[in-house]
Amino acid sequence: MAFSHLYSSVTRGKWFILPTEVDANQLLINSLLTHDAEQDMNGKLSERSPLEAVIASGKEMRSATNFSDAPANSTAIIALHGTMLKYGTYCSYGCVEVAEMIEDAANSPKISGIILDIDSGGGAVDAIAPILSAIKSAQDKGKPVVASCDLCASAAYYVAVHCNEIIAANTISAEFGSIGVMMSFMDYEKYYEAAGVKVHTVYSNHSEYKNAAFEAAKKGDYEKLKDEELDPIALQFQSAVKSGRGDKLDLKVEGIISGRMFYAEHAKKNGLIDSIGSRDFALQRVNEIRRDAVVDNYINSKS
């Protein structure tokens, strides 16, 4: 159920996320953890309101849930907004649903390119892979994917760095970075003891490494959890950024791949993004990237 997916993500997940995103959702998190949330939260947002894309063709823009009647050579504008979770919940679309729409756009003969409209402070680590797979599918079909971003942090930046280009939507609020990983958990041992409940956790004699890092963390020793669970993901994130941004990225800037945030102009100066421009500019870049690819393919075929 959608409620279970949300509860599971909140309580067990590893996160590429801004702390401010956690704070903004604290009331909901408290409701989940104290079981005060409404029962109808077992539903999904997509069941009440299907995920829509904007189809841009020439000067015309319109919303649609599929691309079957889109004009030829249209650009699909697909939103990645809010906290990223793998599965859809009562509160949000899941990244699996967003990825499915990207795949639909990639498979449509009417769509020639995609703008990923990003406004997100990040989310769960397991939310990233479906979108990366969908972006690659589109690119493999010769359809560029351009990230047009306001807030683009943590998991959202992990996604953006796999797009053909990253564009800041404005110079006022657009912000990039927070390249890093975190994990949090609550220890209810004293809470349950105060309620007269004693929790016993017993491991097999042949399972001495099972949950060892977590059990050590419960005693205040976080090093195993960092070494075994967080550091490998953080290094993978850094590697993806270095690979995606290449020589554009100024690694001499302190903290650029270890958690700092940068507003648009500094993000461009430091190589985290390619340019700053409106949605029309992003549409222009989609068309130019596709045109250049067609020209390059033609030249290569003649050489």
Residue with tokens 């904007």: 54
- CATH number of the structural domain spanning residue 111: 3.90.226.10
| 249 lies in some domain | yes
pLDDT (average), residues 51-61:
91
> Into how many domains does the chain fold?
1
Phi-psi category of residue 19: left, alpha or beta, with phi > 0 → left and psi -120 to 50 → alpha: alpha
pLDDT single digits (tens) 221-239? 999 999 999 999 999 999 9
| 62 lies in some domain | yes
The yes-or-no verdict on residue 9 having pLDDT over 60 is no
pLDDT of residue 151: 96
pLDDT confidence of 34, banded at 50, 70, 90? Answer: low
Residue 149 and residue 168: Cα distance in Å, rounded?
Answer: 5
Percentage above 90 pLDDT, the chain: 68
| 200 lies in some domain | no
| 170 lies in some domain | yes
pLDDT confidence of 2, banded at 50, 70, 90? Answer: very low
| 201 lies in some domain | no
pLDDT of residue 39: 46
Do the Cβ atoms of 178 and 259 come closer than 8 Å? yes
Angle at 240 between CA 236 and CA 243, to 5 degrees: 135
DSSP letter assigned to residue 135: H
User: Strands, DSSP E only, in the chain?
Assistant: 14-17, 53-57, 60-64, 74-81, 111-120, 122-124, 145-153, 165-168, 175-177, 182-183, 261-263, 275-276
| 221 lies in some domain | no
| 231 lies in some domain | no
How would DSSP label each residue in 20-77? HHHHHTHHHHHHHHTT-S-GGGGS-HHHHS---EEEEETTEEEEES-STTPPTTEEEE
Torsion of CA 106, 164, 167, 176, to 10 degrees: 110
| 222 lies in some domain | no
pLDDT confidence of 28, banded at 50, 70, 90? Answer: low
Containing structural domain, residue 285:
2-185+239-302
Do the Cβ atoms of 4 and 11 come closer than 8 Å? no
Residue 267 and residue 157: Cα distance in Å, rounded?
Answer: 12
Percentage above 70 pLDDT, the chain: 86
Residue 37 is which amino acid? A
